[in-house]
Amino acid sequence: MSLHNKWEEKLFTHSQFMSEVCLESEELSKAIEYMEWAVHFQPDNEEMLKRIGDLYLRYSKLEQV
């Protein structure tokens, strides 16, 4: 694995972790930002894309209240 790929994998993992941390503290907008960064490193990751969609729905419901 090239050094570039290793860094991308580390950044992907870190972005996922930070998104989870933000979710635990109910910071949905920050969680979405980190999740979008994760997708930047793995754009074909369908699970991540679905999670982002779910977070946007959850966020929009909170904004309507």
Handedness of CA 15, 17, 4, 50 (dihedral sign): negative
Domain ranges of the chain: 3-64
| Residue ranges in the chain assigned as alpha helix (H) | 3-24, 28-41, 46-64
- Count, in order, helices (H) and strands (E) of the chain: 3, 0
The reply to whether the predicted model has a pTM over 0.85 is no
Tens digits of residue pLDDT in 1-26 = 799 999 999 999 999 999 999 999 99
Q: Is there a contact between 35 and 19 (Cβ–Cβ < 8 Å)?
A: yes
- Are 55 and 34 in contact, with CB atoms under 8 Å apart? no
| Residue that has been written with the tokens 């870190």 in this structure | 14
Residue 65 banded pLDDT, cuts 50, 70, 90: low
